[in-house]
Amino acid sequence: MSQPLFSKLALACALLGSVAMPSAMAQEKVLNIYSARHYAGDAQLYGAFTQATGIQIKRVDADDAGILQRLKAEGTASPADVVLLVDASRLWRAEVDGLFAPVRSKLLDDTIPSNLRGKATAEGTYWYGFSTRARVVVYNKARIAKDSVDTYEKLADAKLKGQLCTRSGSHPYNLSLFGAMNEHLGSAATETWLKGLVANMARNPVGGDTDQIKATASGECGVALTNTYYLARLMRSDKPEDRAVMDKVGVVFPNQTSWGTHVNIAGGAIAKNTKNAVYAQQFLEFLAGAQAQDYFANGNNEWPTAKGVKISNPALESLSGGGFKSETIPVSVVGMNQVKVQQMLDRVGYK
């Protein structure tokens, strides 16, 4: 073979390769997810989606605030297709900041209750809640009577002075609870209530919800606030020390005779600058399906949001006595109150 002919063939093969390679890449089905769900078992959820659809998942993990900051910094160059956050106020903030694309999905609208998703607009709905967690009261059974902490309002009663422990007031879990209280009580009464919480603190807010539970069991605190899945983890733990903690604390789902216990959501949305909107919507619809909803209940001790889904998690059933009354105000409204509530926290000195 002559050198010129060999060179021509080599060049032709190179050109064919350069054409074929992008074509193959174009066939690859990939979904980029920015997730604040830092739960160990979530890989099983993503694996189930890939197995069902053939769509590969590439994930970036950070907290809610970090994800929103990253989306803003990346702008139109962001590779994100789906965004998963674990708080209604952050989902609302991201919508307001223009970080999500609207979704039109009859399946999602029919499956997810209207109070557990973003407000419907002419363009569509910007985010959906796929699991819930209740914000409940734990109390030291040796020191505190259950009926003295069976409403959120009672946590501000002077009888509990020096007894209350919480994580930071500005943490999203508390901001959402306080935003809900603003809907129930009105702004003036909510600020008075927050001032009462500050007056009743056993110590400055510190740590996470599990720390509050353990401090209540040890007697450092008499009463505390926590999300239910932290309690369920301790209940399902094989460690004797975790079981001992649960033996010493009681659990109350507040306001069962009034508006119901506050619930927050973990939810998802399609990123504003997605290049894979069809795959992204397919993933959100997968999260509303029975397989994913069952995972939320059993994999991370959360209550499913999809209508008609039944759970079989003994820890959740034991905590709630088989069921509880939850508040029904839209979580989107709770998110809208976060700025107002943060200003209240600053005024009353809630750290």
pLDDT in tens, 308-348: 888 788 999 899 988 899 999 999 999 899 899 999 999 99
Write down the pLDDT at residue 251: 98
The span from the CA of 95 to the CA of 100, in Å, is 6
Mean confidence (pLDDT) of the chain: 91
**Confidence band (pLDDT; 50, 70, 90) for 1?**
very low
Burial label, 1 (beta-carbon count in 10 A; 0-12, 13-18, 19+):
exposed
β pairing state of 128-140 and 303-304: antiparallel
Q: Residue 97, Cα to own-chain centre: how many angstroms? A: 19
Q: pLDDT value at position 309?
A: 86
Residue with tokens 């950070």: 62
The CA-to-CA distance between both ends of the chain, in Å, stands at 81
Determine whether 94 is exposed, middle or buried from the number of CB atoms within 10 Å of its CB (0-12, 13-18, 19+).
buried
Angle at the Cα of 173 from the Cα atoms of 97 and 107, rounded to 5 degrees: 60
The pLDDT tens digits for 53-71 are: 999 999 999 999 999 999 9
**pLDDT by residue (tens digit) across 267-319?**
999 999 999 999 999 999 999 999 999 888 888 899 999 998 887 889 998 99
Assign residue 255 a region: left if phi > 0, alpha if psi is -120 to 50, beta otherwise?
left
DSSP state of 33: E
% of the chain exceeding 70 in pLDDT:
92
- Strand locations in the chain (E): 30-35, 56-61, 82-85, 100-101, 128-140, 164-165, 223-227, 249-252, 263-271, 303-304
Task: State how far the Cα of 291 lies from the Cα of 13, in Å rounded to an integer.
Answer: 47
SS3 150: coil
Residue 151: CB atoms within 10 A of its CB come to 19
Separation CA 157–CA 149 (nearest Å): 9
Which of these ranges, 18-27, 106-115, 258-267, has the smallest mean pLDDT? 18-27
pLDDT attached to residue 129: 97
- For residue 250, which amino acid is it? G
pLDDT given for residue 27 in this prediction: 60
Q: What is the pLDDT of residue 115?
A: 95
Nearest to 301 by CA among 250, 241, 226: 226
pLDDT band at 24 (very low <50, low <70, confident <90, very high): very low
Arithmetic mean of pLDDT, 202-225: 98
Q: Supply the angle between the helices 187-199 and 338-348 in degrees, to the nearest 10.
A: 40
Let me know: does 147 contact 223? Beta carbons within 8 Å. Answer: no
Q: What is the pLDDT of residue 44?
A: 86
Q: What gap in Å lies between CA 85 and CA 313, rounded to an integer?
A: 23
Both tokens of 186, joined, read 């009105």
Residues 117-168 have pLDDT tens digits of 999 999 999 999 999 999 999 999 999 999 999 999 999 999 999 999 999 9
- Residue 15, pLDDT > 70, answer no
